[in-house]
Structure 1
Amino acid sequence: MEDAVASVRLHVNHHDPYEEWEKETRQEAFRKERKQAHTRAAQQREALHEEQMREVQMHLAAMNLKKKQEEDELLAEWKARDQKLWQRIDAVIKKEEEKARAKMEAERKRREEEERVRREAEEKRRQEEERQRKEEEEKRQKKEKEEEDQRRQAEAERLRVERDRAEEQERKALGFTTAFEDWKRARDMLKGIKTGPLKIVKGDKALKSIWSAGRRAITPKIGQLTNDSEAIMRISQQIVEIIRPPQPHPQPVYIALLSSLAKAILLQAETEVTAEKRSAIPLAQVATNLLGALEGFADVFWAKLCQRAGGWPVPIVVPNKDADGTPFTEDGRRKALGYRSEDESLSEYTTRVTGMIRVYFQILVTPVNQPLDPIVRLPRYWTFFSRMLKEPQLLDSSVAPQVLYTALDVGGVLAREVWGQQWVRLLALLYEGVTVGYHGLEGRLIGGKSPEGIAARVRVQLEIERIMGAS
């Protein structure tokens, strides 16, 4: 054992060079191998590290890309959200602006409406003030005109009364009447017919039946007239037979039929003659025949003529009192002037009056074989002109020149043959009245200043020139 241990100890402590070399060689190889292994491991680690670095870089790049995508998406979302937010903000602002504009527009419209209402109220107030001023002015002018008319009428009445008194004896000796007497004759007759025969006939069924039948027979006869002498004579005779049959009518019926006949003639004059003045000739010839054949017809015809034409057939300014002295109401005087209704215009009135006046003047110039009432004979033609030229209140009316023209157109030439130089002097006064001024008043022309008066005045002037130029 000891030998073995000593051998081992010796062996352990023995340094064999070969072994030492081999050992060193193995250690050197081991170190080299280890170094190489370390190198390979380092290379592997470096390669792995590079691979890992690449992977990490790739992963980082992917993460960065993803992050960028996410950031881009978030930015896009933020921008979209921001855009939506601003859009909402803009919408809210726009809505508020629209509200503000609407409020401002409403305020503007309110102010404009208030201004419009204020202006309208101001204009209405101004118009009302202007209307009141005009009404007051019109009332004042109307009052002044009425006062002037009353003054002039009173003066004309005074002059007429004085003139009538001065001429009374002469008129009575010659059988002449005054304008008032002629007008009173018509008014009295008209009232007498209404309160007498017509009232009796309308209150008795039998008499009313006779009157109605005769009236229905008369009207178409008048409407059938033509300018044929045989037809005129035939119709005249038929009308006479209707009114005065072999078995005479009761007196009230007779007078009522005369009134209806006169009315039919005048209505025909209002319609036919205004449309065609030549139709006055046959109508006047029939009327003249009936005036000679029917007793009392002249009085009735004259009453109805003055009823429908006012004072123009006389001629006379219709006074403020009726023939019996009763004061006229405004409506009553308007009816006495011949107006048919409250709304009849002056133009319509003039046309209607001239139609009837034409027939009346045609009756005055129609030749007759028997004496007729003076109210429907030729001397009345001269009386008409002489009275017209004495009445300034009539001459101021626009109706006057139209009536004068109608009279001249119907009988102006015949009057020159009948009255000669006297007629020429009267025409000279009339001509002066339509060109210079009547009664020596320069500028105060017959017919006044209305367009209708001016137009009719020119016709009078031309008609006088035609009459004076006739051979």
Structure 2
Amino acid sequence: MKFGAPRSISPSPVRRKPRSRSTFGLQSDSDSDYGYSSDSYSESESDSDSSRSTDSRPSSPSSDSFCYASESEVPKLPPKPKHPPRNTAEQQRIEDTVAAIRLRTRHHDPYEDWERQTRMDAFRTARKELSATQTRFHTEQDRIRAEADQRRAARHAAQMADVQRRLAGVRLAQKAEEDQLREAWKLREKDIWDRIEGVIKIEEDKVKVRLEVERKVQEEKERKLKEEEMKKRLLEEKRKQEEEKKRQDEAEAKRLEDEKKKQEQEEEQLKLMEDLLKAERLENEREHRKAIGMTTAEDDWFLARAFLQEVKSEVAKVKSNREVKSEWSKWRRQITPKIGQITDDEVHINRISTELLNIMRPPNMPAHDPHIYKALLSSLSKAILLQAETEVTAEKKSAKPLAQVAFNLLNTVPDFAEIFFAKLVQRTGGWPIPIVVPKEDIDEKPWKDEAARTKAMGYRKSSVSDDLESAAEYTTRVAGIMRVYFHILKIPPRQPLQAMFQLPRLWIWLSRLAGERGLLETAVAPQLIYTALDVMGSYARQLWGHQWNKLLELIYEGVSVGFGSGRFIGGSSPEGIAARVRVELEIERILLGA
């Protein structure tokens, strides 16, 4: 609905500037100044527009822009005539128009309400349809995903069946390879025993030659002494009896001193000769040992010390990081209680072994960080050895279940064998190899002090004081640990273990010990020999037969009559003498088949 006010006739034909706004027929303040209304101006403007539209012919630029040649030519505006007074009817129309405009601005149109409501309903309907469409879309997506999962599960089952078939083939191939390796191992074992018998025969011949040389030297000395005595008696018969006695005493003292010096020199020369022969023999056998995979005592010592330093470095890295140390401590605290719960029961041993394996390799969890894993291997090895030091020392029977748990872990836990042997060497010194701890560390530098070398030999602080443990405490503790080690060697493996945990290691251990004079003269040697024979003496005789008897006879000679010049295994200390008696009785029991 539109409203408008009637226009009045413009009082002046003069072209005026158009107004910017309409007053709907009402008089404005600006119009009243010239004496005419906006209606009259609108009418005149309309007339002028019509006249412009009618006269559309081209004109000069001056006429198009309504310009004059000079300001004097511009006509002056006529005075505005006064607006004639409006009558009552006109005034009434103006007021009605204003009222209609106001009514229009305040009018409430139902059609607009209907249109707005329709838009809202349409929006709701569209949103509802969108929700239903999305629901159908998600349902279809779930169905497609379920079908994809079913196809994936079927494909996975087919792949698993294929893997099982391939694994069966691999097992058959592995069994054939194991049979082949077993045959090769038997041939290699026969070759090794042939070489061992040859070495034993060589060593026996060397001992016989050495004893024969010593006997001849002794006879020659006695002969020379007799000749000297005879000459002295013939020369001194003419002298007085007192002078003769004095000279005889001086000669006897000198003779004893010379004999002592000669004996010391002979011992030094003999030791030097043994070292040279040993070095020459090792040098000659180096390529042969390398071919069959055998190592020397020095190689084993270097390897164990290298692993020990590597483990110490890994533990230091773990301890330097608070978060990593917290993770390591959480798992480490679970190891010690389980080691302390071991009893001589097969089911219990298997359960403890499985729990320890789950600690080292947690199921359904990511593997341990390499640093944490090596630190945990060190903690596990230390817990087993500490348990051996405390419990096996008190009761020998407790060594067997502890050794079985350690053996199970050696079979299943990667890298455990090297670290366990390194910790074993750390706690007992060179006895597991065996070797005299050298005067230099593996970096070919001397130990920083005697305490460091003593610690490398396996000595620890006494449990009753801050000083080092006594020789008896050290011997007892090392014997408890080595008993567990010998029990591990006795257990038949299901798969090849590291060389230091295989049964031939017992023969190597006794052979090396028999050739180490510095170890044989200590009280620890006979005690460890007795421990080895107590654990594996009869079992080794069943395996090795006559050759084992030869080795036992050699050891029996060392504990009963000694090796040349009355040198006994174990020295002259009370502990060594007692251990020698135990070794002698144990060898008699084994050889007599008791």
TM-score over 0.5 for the alignment? Answer: yes
Cα deviation, residue 204, structure 1: 1.2
Decide whether the 8 Å contact of 2:514 with 2:520 is kept in 1. yes
- Is the alpha carbon distance of 1:184 and 1:260 closer, same or farther for their aligned partners in structure 2, counting shifts above 3 Å? same
The answer to whether residue 571 in structure 2 is matched with residue 448 in structure 1 is yes
Decide whether the 8 Å contact of 1:405 with 1:460 is kept in 2. yes
Secondary structure at the aligned position of 1:324 is classed as coil
Letter in 2 for 1:383: I
Corresponding position of 2:454: 334
Cα deviation, residue 209, structure 1: 1.1
Deviations 1:272-317 (A, max 9, x none): 0000011000000000000011111110001000000000000001
The answer to whether residue 428 in structure 2 is matched with residue 428 in structure 1 is no
Which 10-residue stretch deviates more, 323-332 or 418-427? 323-332
- Is the alpha carbon distance of 1:148 and 1:191 closer, same or farther for their aligned partners in structure 2, counting shifts above 3 Å? farther
Cα deviation, residue 408, structure 1: 0.4
Cα deviation, residue 159, structure 1: 4.4
Letter in 2 for 1:337: M
1-side partners of 2:568 and 2:357: how far apart?
45
Corresponding position of 1:301: 420
- Is the alpha carbon distance of 1:358 and 1:151 closer, same or farther for their aligned partners in structure 2, counting shifts above 3 Å? farther
Letter in 2 for 1:297: F
Decide whether the 8 Å contact of 1:152 with 1:393 is kept in 2. no
Decide whether the 8 Å contact of 1:236 with 1:290 is kept in 2. yes
Give matches, 1:120-269, under 5 Å. 158-195=276-313, 197-246=314-363, 247-269=366-388
Query: Which of these residues, 375, 388, 407, is aligned with residue 288 of structure 1?
Result: 407
Decide whether the 8 Å contact of 2:319 with 2:325 is kept in 1. yes
The answer to whether residue 410 in structure 2 is matched with residue 410 in structure 1 is no
Letter in 2 for 1:450: S
2-side partners of 1:257 and 1:156: how far apart?
43
2-side partners of 1:296 and 1:285: how far apart?
18
Corresponding position of 1:53: none
Decide whether the 8 Å contact of 1:388 with 1:395 is kept in 2. yes
Give matches, 1:365-404, under 5 Å. 365-404=490-529
Query: Which of these residues, 433, 449, 452, is aligned with residue 314 of structure 1?
Result: 433
Deviation >2 Å, runs of 4+: 147-163
2-side partners of 1:150 and 1:314: how far apart?
25
- Is the alpha carbon distance of 1:251 and 1:460 closer, same or farther for their aligned partners in structure 2, counting shifts above 3 Å? same
Deviations 1:239-288 (A, max 9, x none): 01001113210011111000000000000000000000110000000000
Deviations 1:67-94 (A, max 9, x none): xxxxxxxxxxxxxxxxxxxxxxxxxxxx
Secondary structure at the aligned position of 2:339 is classed as helix
Cα deviation, residue 149, structure 1: 11
Secondary structure at the aligned position of 1:359 is classed as helix
Letter in 2 for 1:172: K
Deviations 1:128-148 (A, max 9, x none): xxxxxxxxxxxxxxxxxxx99
1-side partners of 2:271 and 2:293: how far apart?
26
Deviations 1:143-196 (A, max 9, x none): xxxx9999998776544432321211111111100001011111010011112x
The answer to whether residue 588 in structure 2 is matched with residue 465 in structure 1 is yes
Letter in 2 for 1:338: G
Secondary structure at the aligned position of 1:289 is classed as helix
Which has the larger Rg? 1
1-side partners of 2:269 and 2:390: how far apart?
37
Cα deviation, residue 231, structure 1: 0.5
Letter in 2 for 1:267: L
Letter in 2 for 1:266: L
- Is the alpha carbon distance of 1:150 and 1:299 closer, same or farther for their aligned partners in structure 2, counting shifts above 3 Å? farther
1-side partners of 2:446 and 2:281: how far apart?
24
2-side partners of 1:260 and 1:152: how far apart?
45
Greater length-normalized contact order (CA 8 Å, ≥ 6 residues apart): 1
Decide whether the 8 Å contact of 1:395 with 1:447 is kept in 2. yes
Deviations 1:84-118 (A, max 9, x none): xxxxxxxxxxxxxxxxxxxxxxxxxxxxxxxxxxx
2-side partners of 1:234 and 1:156: how far apart?
51
- Is the alpha carbon distance of 1:322 and 1:150 closer, same or farther for their aligned partners in structure 2, counting shifts above 3 Å? farther
- Is the alpha carbon distance of 1:262 and 1:432 closer, same or farther for their aligned partners in structure 2, counting shifts above 3 Å? same
The answer to whether residue 487 in structure 2 is matched with residue 362 in structure 1 is yes
Decide whether the 8 Å contact of 1:156 with 1:391 is kept in 2. no
Corresponding position of 1:135: none
Decide whether the 8 Å contact of 2:459 with 2:468 is kept in 1. no
Secondary structure at the aligned position of 2:325 is classed as helix
2-side partners of 1:158 and 1:288: how far apart?
39
Secondary structure at the aligned position of 2:334 is classed as helix
Cα deviation, residue 213, structure 1: 1.3
Report how many residues are paired. Answer: 322
Decide whether the 8 Å contact of 1:447 with 1:453 is kept in 2. yes
Decide whether the 8 Å contact of 1:240 with 1:294 is kept in 2. yes
Decide whether the 8 Å contact of 1:233 with 1:286 is kept in 2. yes
Structure with the higher fraction of residues in helix conformation:
1
Secondary structure at the aligned position of 1:467 is classed as helix
Deviations 1:313-338 (A, max 9, x none): 00001110112211122111101100
Q: TM-score, normalised by structure 2?
A: 0.53
Decide whether the 8 Å contact of 2:434 with 2:513 is kept in 1. yes
Pairwise CA RMSD: 1.9
- Is the alpha carbon distance of 1:167 and 1:276 closer, same or farther for their aligned partners in structure 2, counting shifts above 3 Å? same
Overall identity of the aligned pairs, in %: 56
2-side partners of 1:206 and 1:322: how far apart?
34
Secondary structure at the aligned position of 1:464 is classed as helix
1-side partners of 2:439 and 2:280: how far apart?
19
Q: TM-score, normalised by structure 1?
A: 0.66
Corresponding position of 2:222: none
Decide whether the 8 Å contact of 1:358 with 1:407 is kept in 2. yes
Which 10-residue stretch deviates more, 184-193 or 147-156? 147-156
1-side partners of 2:495 and 2:473: how far apart?
36
Decide whether the 8 Å contact of 1:321 with 1:327 is kept in 2. yes
Corresponding position of 1:348: 473
Letter in 2 for 1:462: L
2-side partners of 1:295 and 1:362: how far apart?
21
- Is the alpha carbon distance of 1:158 and 1:334 closer, same or farther for their aligned partners in structure 2, counting shifts above 3 Å? farther
Secondary structure at the aligned position of 1:320 is classed as coil
